[in-house]
Amino acid sequence: MENCTPIGTPTAPGTKIRADLSGKAVDLKTYRGMIGSLMYLTTSRPNIMFSTCLCARYQASPKESHLSAVKRIFRYLKGTANLGLWYPKDTSFELIAYSDADHAGCMLDRKSTSGHIQFLGDKLVSWTWKKQLCVSTSTTEAEYVSAASCFSQVLWIRTQLRDYGFIYNKIPIYCDSKNAIAISTNPVQHTKTKHIDVRYYFVKDNAEKGTVELYFVNTDYQLAALFTKPLDEKRFNFLISKLGMLNFKT
């Protein structure tokens, strides 16, 4: 891939990678080696996490179509070798988070995908992409489950920082689903939400206690969207700039 042609995004917009049962099989060891290298790189390059994890789903029986998707990630990296996270020194230390979900995004079992990120001021300190454990029956449920997962990470960060003398309350979590936010703030559980697993309602409990607050954010400014779906080049580059990623060569 050293002489490959660079490309603007790691995954083409609208891409749906499937099992491709009739496709031609590729070398298992090579495919897993490429995925392993990319997974290691996601610790400093959050912009490829969604694409890498999407391709990682098919390590058991990779096909040529899956290998082509992996090669596209390497083509993207070829043109962005100098891109990396930047942590400015003189910025605020406010803990904020963004939560997003892609309802029924997995083509294997129709489970939804959760994506969330956490900032300390302008510094991105945590990012997560994960397929949800349960099958969500609506976009609202998928968004609410993602928000609960986001809060779990926020709570862990809050606990760790307390040891250093930082006390956080009313931590803002930004979500682009008004219905999911309504579930966390409505004092009366509507009958339509009873199918949502009880274990996810701890976010509602903590919202009532004032530990966190959920805010609506327009989908265009939902930074966690980078971890749930393939985007066009313009929006993709806009979001990675908001994550604090800079080209160190320039």
For residue range 108-121, list pLDDT tens digits in order: 788 899 999 999 99
- With 80 as the cut, is the pLDDT of residue 25 above it? yes
**Residue 250, pLDDT score:** 60
Q: Cβ distance 36 to 108 under 8 Å?
A: no
Of all residues in the chain, the percent with pLDDT exceeding 70 is 94
Give how far Cα 13 sits from Cα of 51, 215, 233, Å: 11, 27, 8
Counting beta carbons within 10 angstroms of the beta carbon of residue 185, is it exposed (0 to 12), middle (13 to 18) or buried (19 or more)? exposed
Q: Cβ distance 137 to 179 under 8 Å?
A: no
pLDDT band at 134 (very low <50, low <70, confident <90, very high): confident
Q: Which CATH architecture has domain 95-227?
A: 2-Layer Sandwich (3.30)
Distance CA 130, CA 39 (A): 13
pLDDT band at 192 (very low <50, low <70, confident <90, very high): low
Distance in Å from the first CA to the final CA of the chain: 24
Helices and strands of the chain, counted as H and E runs: 7, 7
Tens digit of pLDDT for each residue in 58-97? 999 999 999 999 999 999 999 999 999 989 888 888 999 9
Residue with tokens 């009880």, as numbered in its chain: 198
Query: pTM for the full model?
Result: 0.91
Positions of CATH 3.30.420.10 in the chain:
95-227
pLDDT band at 136 (very low <50, low <70, confident <90, very high): confident
pLDDT, the chain, mean: 89
Q: Can you tell me the mean pLDDT for 20-31? A: 94
**Residue 208, pLDDT score:** 82
Distance CA 162, CA 171 (A): 14
**Residue 241, pLDDT score:** 93
